[in-house]
Structure 1
Amino acid sequence: MYTFEDTIKRKRKSDIPLPTSAMNYDGIWLEDAIEGYRTLNVTGREMISPEIQSENVNVGSIISSQRLPSRTLKITYQIKNDDPEMFLVNFRRLMEYLYREQAVPVYFNDEQDVLYYGRFSGSDEVPGDRYTVTASFDIYCADPRKYSLKFYRPKKVIRGRFSFKTRPSKIVVKIEKDASLTVTNGMQNVKVVNGKLSPDDEVVINFVDGTVMVNGINRTNWLDLSSDFENFELKNNQVLSCDNGVMTLYYREVSL
């Protein structure tokens, strides 16, 4: 009932074997990018505990809310270089690769079917009196969920495992007529109405970065304010449809 496509390029420039837990950060294996760098260990990928708010009553308690906290991945690594100048250059390069102002895709050599979204958030103090250093840094995942590395593209009826809230990654529509656009899952709607859509326009509704692109131009302001954009959710056996054009849905399976 669906097809999938792998959107992550995995080819490497180097033939040197990667450590078991090597991290691919925004499309880059740090072992390939930084001389003398090697991943030693990763923690934070295991089970995550929900935060439950409750109020005690005569017998037990009443649960008022439940939420999933953020996730922090701790990467323990080693850098070594006998050249003092290059040793410091390696750390500058490490910061250049790690520093981001938004979450980026992250996956690991021993878990290549799972994608995280996170950004560098801090590191251990690094001793300055040696040329082989073992330390760690943190990747902060505001969204603690794990996503399949592959995009799924349902043909018509959505068939999948939705144990956790799953949103589309993006919806692409090839417009057929001069009119607005409404995408629906039968219960929730996303409407693009402010602005003129014409035949052969391509509309990309991106739920990851919260944008609406028309022919590659940001038209997020064309999104109807009454749309269910923020809480548009996929469920098993849904049928998605649109009223103007040919639609393709992309989503990733979600796990914890």
Structure 2
Amino acid sequence: MYDFHDLSINRKIETEPLPAEALNYGGHWLDREVDGYMTLSTSGRNEFSRQINSADRVDDGAVYLSSRIESKKITVTFQLLASTIEQYNERLEKLKQLLFQPNQPFYFADLQQYHFVGTASALTLDSETLNTTGKIELSLTDPYLHGNVKTITGSGTQIKVNDNELIYPQTPTKLTITPAEAVANLAVTCNGKNISLSVGVDAGQAVVIDFANLNLSINAVDNLMGLTLDSNLSDFYISNGSMISINATGSYKLDYEVKQL
């Protein structure tokens, strides 16, 4: 429909409002694409469990060694309505089709700026009737919520991370450094962690440290073997207030996602 504001036309498509916890799985709103489907509730979204690694003491208790956040599951309870068996089969088939692809980004209507990544591991129905309720089980090997990619760009030898949403230590997505002059052994440090190259980099060559895929490229050519043995890609953590130092001046681009439990 058309809204008139100061003689200009604002065109917008009116759609039915989504339930507060409506699920978007792999880019598809189930409540909009499956006729008769409606999200009723979710559980498990704000839960987490931690596996503790410890060694028993000779006397009482144990000694803490390490821990890790475990995988988790989210359950979506829904309603599916149909008037005929043909409608029922058609709508159920559409739902299964949308849930088929594994390892998909998904999010909910009440928190669309963050997404999970997981797999629809089970679809169950409470009864085999035309009007029924059921559950979708989503299995997450990665228990974190992910925000949209943020970028810090600039030039110099230091990158200051100022982001109040970055409350959990995490690795960046990617760091690109383009030195202004040739450097024999490029080195990057943050919070006691180090990434160093054993090969030289010419002026203007882009060095891309890909934390998401644990890779390194120089001038668009993969060169993971160019990293020194003491380099830390998997635990090169940043958080709000972190300072990344580079031993060569030039331009930089830091990409990261905000993660939350």
**TM-score of the superposition, structure 2-length normalised?**
0.72
| Preserved contact between residue 179 and residue 244 of structure 1 (Cα < 8 Å) | no
Question: How many Å separate the matches in 1 of 2:206 and 2:84?
Answer: 53
**SS of residue matched to 1:111:** coil
**Which residue of structure 1 aligns with residue 259 of structure 2?**
254
Q: CA shift at 1:131, angstroms?
A: 1.6
Distance of aligned partners of 1:231 and 1:100 in 2 relative to their CA distance in 1, 3 Å threshold: farther
Question: How many Å separate the matches in 2 of 1:183 and 1:91?
Answer: 55
1:9-46 Cα distance to aligned partner (Å, 9 max, x none): xxx97610000111122222111222121111110112
Q: CA shift at 1:85, angstroms?
A: 2.5
Q: 1:187-198 residue pairs with structure 2 within 5 A?
A: 187-189=193-195
Structure 2 letter corresponding to 1:72: K
| Preserved contact between residue 192 and residue 222 of structure 1 (Cα < 8 Å) | no
Match of 1:157 among 138, 160, 168: 160
Q: 1:1-256 residue pairs with structure 2 within 5 A?
A: 15-54=15-54, 55-101=56-102, 103-125=103-125, 127-128=127-128, 130-147=129-146, 149-155=147-153, 156-160=159-163, 163-172=167-176, 184-186=188-190, 187-189=193-195, 205-210=209-214, 221-224=222-225, 226=229, 227-235=231-239, 236-241=241-246, 246-256=251-261
Question: How many Å separate the matches in 1 of 2:243 and 2:28?
Answer: 36
Distance of aligned partners of 1:127 and 1:231 in 2 relative to their CA distance in 1, 3 Å threshold: same
Structure 2 letter corresponding to 1:25: Y
**SS of residue matched to 1:45:** coil
Distance of aligned partners of 1:38 and 1:152 in 2 relative to their CA distance in 1, 3 Å threshold: same
Return the index of the structure with the highest Cα Rg. 2
**SS of residue matched to 2:132:** strand
| Preserved contact between residue 190 and residue 229 of structure 1 (Cα < 8 Å) | no
Question: How many Å separate the matches in 2 of 1:178 and 1:60?
Answer: 56
Which segments of 5 or more consecutive residues in structure 2 lack a partner in the other structure?
Answer: 1-11, 154-158
Structure 2 letter corresponding to 1:118: G
- Deviation larger for 169-178 or 226-235: 169-178
Question: How many Å separate the matches in 2 of 1:141 and 1:173?
Answer: 33
**SS of residue matched to 1:164:** coil
Question: How many Å separate the matches in 2 of 1:190 and 1:121?
Answer: 41
Question: How many Å separate the matches in 2 of 1:203 and 1:89?
Answer: 51
| Preserved contact between residue 150 and residue 256 of structure 2 (Cα < 8 Å) | yes
Question: How many Å separate the matches in 2 of 1:248 and 1:76?
Answer: 42
| Preserved contact between residue 125 and residue 133 of structure 2 (Cα < 8 Å) | no
Distance of aligned partners of 1:230 and 1:82 in 2 relative to their CA distance in 1, 3 Å threshold: same
**Which residue of structure 2 aligns with residue 7 of structure 1?**
none
1:215-241 Cα distance to aligned partner (Å, 9 max, x none): 9x8x6x532364533223214331254
- Deviation larger for 222-231 or 80-89: 222-231
Instruction: Give the number of the structure whose residues are more often strand, by fraction.
Output: 2
Q: CA shift at 1:253, angstroms?
A: 2.2
Question: How many Å separate the matches in 2 of 1:190 and 1:24?
Answer: 41
Distance of aligned partners of 1:17 and 1:229 in 2 relative to their CA distance in 1, 3 Å threshold: same
**Which residue of structure 1 aligns with residue 8 of structure 2?**
none
